[in-house]
C-alpha cells in the first residue's frame, strides 16, 4: 500500500454573516492519499486536497465584530453530536445488564433513564456551547491572530449590521431546542414505571414480574436464590411468613417452577410462579413469602439432597392498578427506543447548518506567489511532494517540474 502526502497551504476568505465584513485566515494542512501504487496514491491525495480546500472550516473570529460564523460553530457541533449519537446507539442494550444479574425488571428502567439523561445533558451542552456569547473577548482573540499573521481583515463592513438571531450568532434555532425538550419528555416517560407508583401510591415489588402485583394475579419471582438450579420435579412450597393481617401467617399459596433464562451450554435457570388468592382484603398488605425447595445435586460421585429457601416481600394492589403499571412498562420501553429520534434530528440539523449557504460561506482565494490561478493550493515552496513507498520515506519532484 503506497501513501502520498500533499500540503494545503492557502488563505481562505470569509464574509461575516453578522456585520458583512470580509476577512481571511491562513490554512496549513497535510492530506494523505493511499493506493496500490504511487500513481493511484497521488491521484487520491490530489482529490483529497481539492475536497479539503473546498470544505475545510476553521473556528476563527471576524476581526471586524468578533463573530464566529454559524457554519464554523455547526461544524464543530456536528462532530460532537455524531460521537454522542453513535455512542447512544452502541450502548442501547446496556440497560438490560442489571436484569441479567437478577436485579429485577425495574432496574432496566433505572439504568435506561440514567443513561438517556447522561446523553441528554451532553446534547444540551453542545447546543448551549455559544462562542459568540462575548464578542468583545472574541475581538481580542482576533487581534492576537492578526498579530501572528494567521488572520487578516480584507474589506470593512458595509455599515449595516444584520439582526443578531440565534442562527447567525450561535448556529441554533427554536426547532433544535424543541427537539431537546422532546427528548427530555421521553426520558420522563421512560422512567414512568419508577415515579408513577410513588405519585399514585401504588405498591411495588422490585424482584417480581410484574412489579405491580395484582390480587388474583400470578407473580413470577426471580429464582437466583436457588443456587442449585432445581427443576420441575423438585418439591416447592410458598408459605406466608409474615403479613399485616396475622390471620394470613402460615398460609400456603400455590407455586410452581417456570423456566427462566437459558444460556447456551448451561442448564436452564428456574423461576417461581406464585398464584395470589383473589381476595380484595390482600390489597395493600405487605406480605413476606418464604419459598422452600428440595433440591438435588451431584458433588463428586455422590448425589446429595438438601433444602434451600428464598424470601421475597410483595404488596398486592387492586388488579386495575397492576394492569396500568404493566402498560406503563411497555410505554417506557417504546420511549427508550424513541429517545434516539430527537438526537438524530439534532445531528441532521447541525449538518444542514454546517453546509448552509450563508454569505459567510468560505472559499479559497488566489495568491500569485504560492497558489495557482484557479485557486487550488500548490506544493510547498521547495517544490517537493513527499510520499512513502514500501514503508520508507522518499521524496519525488512534482510531475510538472520533471525535465522534458
pLDDT of residue 373: 31
Tell me which DSSP letter residue 23 carries. Answer: E
Asked if residue 200 has pLDDT above 80, the reply is no
Least confident range from 114-118, 150-154, 243-247, 391-395: namely 391-395
| pLDDT of res. 324 | 80
Per-residue pLDDT, 399? 38
Residues 6+ apart with CB under 8 A from 395: 384, 385, 386
**Given a cut of 70, is residue 297 above it in pLDDT?**
no
Average pLDDT over residues 5-19: 84
Decide if pLDDT at 185 tops 90: yes
pLDDT, tens digit (0-9, with 9 covering 90-100), for 239-283? 898 888 888 898 898 888 877 666 666 666 778 888 888 888 888
Q: What's the CA gap between 170 and 73, in Å, rounded?
A: 7
Helices 174-190 and 106-128, packing angle to 10 deg: 160
Q: Which residue has the higher pLDDT, 167 or 37?
A: 37
- Stronger pLDDT, 74 or 320, i.e. the higher one: 74
> Tens of pLDDT along 58-105?
889 999 988 888 888 888 888 888 888 888 888 877 776 666 655 667
- pLDDT tens across 322-345, in order? 778 878 888 988 998 898 899 888
Q: What pLDDT is stored for residue 289 in this prediction? A: 87
Q: What is the pLDDT of residue 369?
A: 37
Pick the most confident of 120-129, 287-296, 378-387: 120-129
Measured CA to CA in angstroms, residue 178 lies from 81, 174, 187, 343 at distances of 16, 6, 14, 11
From CA 336, how far away is CA 154, in angstroms rounded? 51
The whole-number average pLDDT for the span 288-294 is 83
In this prediction, residues 306-330 reach a mean pLDDT of 79
**Does residue 187 register a pLDDT over 80?**
yes
**Cis bond before residue 210 (omega within 30° of 0):** yes
Q: State the average pLDDT over residues 166-195.
A: 85
Strands 252-253 and 236-243 come out as antiparallel
C-alpha 172/C-alpha 340 separation (Å) is: 19
Phi/psi of residue 278, each to 5°?
-85, 70
Per-residue pLDDT, 178 = 92
Looking up cell 438571531 gives: 165
Domain boundaries, the chain: 2-103+134-168+356-401, 213-316
Query: Which three-class secondary structure string do you get for 326-360?
Result: HHHHHHHHHHHHHCHHHHHHHHHHHHHHHCCCCCC
| Predicted pLDDT at 145 | 93
For β-strands 236-243 and 287-299, DSSP reports them as antiparallel
Average pLDDT, the chain: 76
Q: What is the pLDDT of residue 9?
A: 82
Which of 13-22, 185-194, 288-297 is least confident? 288-297
Which range, of 59-68, 106-115, 190-199, 384-393, averages the lowest pLDDT?
384-393
pLDDT score of 25 more than 80: yes
Share of the chain above pLDDT 90, in %: 8
Q: What is the pLDDT of residue 357?
A: 44
pLDDT for 376-396, tens place per residue? 333 443 333 343 333 333 333
pLDDT tens digits along 345-373: 888 888 877 766 444 444 444 443 333 33
Determine whether 164 is exposed, middle or buried from the number of CB atoms within 10 Å of its CB (0-12, 13-18, 19+).
middle
Q: What mean pLDDT is predicted for residues 192-199?
A: 82
Amino acid at each position: 500500500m503506497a501513501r502520498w502526502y500533499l500540503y494545503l497551504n492557502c488563505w481562505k476568505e470569509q464574509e461575516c454573516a453578522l456585520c458583512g465584513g470580509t476577512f481571511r485566515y491562513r490554512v496549513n494542512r497535510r492530506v494523505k492519499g493511499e493506493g496500490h501504487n504511487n500513481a493511484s496514491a497521488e491521484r487520491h491525495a490530489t482529490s483529497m486536497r481539492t475536497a479539503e480546500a473546498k470544505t475545510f472550516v476553521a473556528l476563527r473570529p471576524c476581526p471586524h465584530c468578533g463573530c464566529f460564523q454559524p457554519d464554523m460553530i455547526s461544524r464543530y457541533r456536528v462532530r460532537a453530536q455524531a460521537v454522542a449519537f453513535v455512542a447512544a446507539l452502541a450502548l442501547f442494550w446496556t440497560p438490560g445488564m442489571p436484569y441479567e444479574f437478577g436485579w429485577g425488571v425495574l432496574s432496566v428502567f433505572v439504568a435506561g433513564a440514567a443513561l438517556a439523561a447522561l446523553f441528554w445533558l451532553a446534547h444540551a451542552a453542545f447546543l448551549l456551547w455559544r462562542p459568540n456569547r462575548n464578542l468583545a473577548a472574541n475581538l481580542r482573540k482576533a487581534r492576537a491572530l492578526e498579530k501572528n499573521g494567521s488572520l487578516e481583515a480584507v474589506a470593512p463592513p458595509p455599515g449595516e449590521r444584520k439582526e443578531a438571531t440565534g442562527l447567525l450568532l450561535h448556529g441554533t434555532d427554536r426547532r433544535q431546542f424543541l427537539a431537546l425538550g422532546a427528548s427530555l419528555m421521553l426520558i420522563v416517560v421512560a422512567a414512568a414505571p419508577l415515579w408513577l407508583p410513588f405519585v399514585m401510591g401504588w405498591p411495588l415489588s422490585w424482584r417480581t414480574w410484574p412489579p405491580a402485583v395484582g390480587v388474583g394475579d400470578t407473580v413470577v419471582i426471580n429464582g437466583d436464590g436457588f443456587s442449585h438450579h432445581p427443576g420441575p420435579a423438585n418439591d416447592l412450597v410458598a408459605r406466608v411468613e409474615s403479613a399485616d393481617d396475622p390471620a394470613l401467617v402460615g398460609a400456603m399459596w400455590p407455586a410452581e417452577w417456570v423456566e427462566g433464562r437459558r444460556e447456551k451450554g448451561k442448564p436452564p435457570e428456574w423461576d417461581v410462579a406464585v398464584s395470589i388468592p383473589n381476595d380484595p382484603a390482600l390489597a395493600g398488605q405487605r406480605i413476606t413469602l418464604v419459598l422452600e425447595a428440595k433440591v438435588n445435586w451431584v458433588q463428586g460421585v455422590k448425589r446429595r439432597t438438601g433444602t434451600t429457601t428464598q424470601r421475597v416481600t410483595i404488596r398486592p394492589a387492586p388488579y386495575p392498578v397492576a394492569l396500568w403499571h404493566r402498560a406503563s412498562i411497555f410505554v417506557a420501553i417504546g420511549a427508550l427506543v424513541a429517545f434516539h429520534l430527537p438526537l438524530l434530528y439534532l445531528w441532521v440539523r447541525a449538518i444542514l447548518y454546517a453546509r448552509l449557504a450563508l454569505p459567510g460561506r468560505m472559499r479559497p482565494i488566489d495568491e500569485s506567489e504560492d497558489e495557482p490561478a484557479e485557486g487550488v493550493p500548490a506544493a510547498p515552496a521547495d517544490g517537493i511532494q513527499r510520499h512513502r513507498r514500501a514503508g520508507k520515506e522518499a521524496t519525488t519532484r512534482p510531475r510538472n517540474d520533471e525535465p522534458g
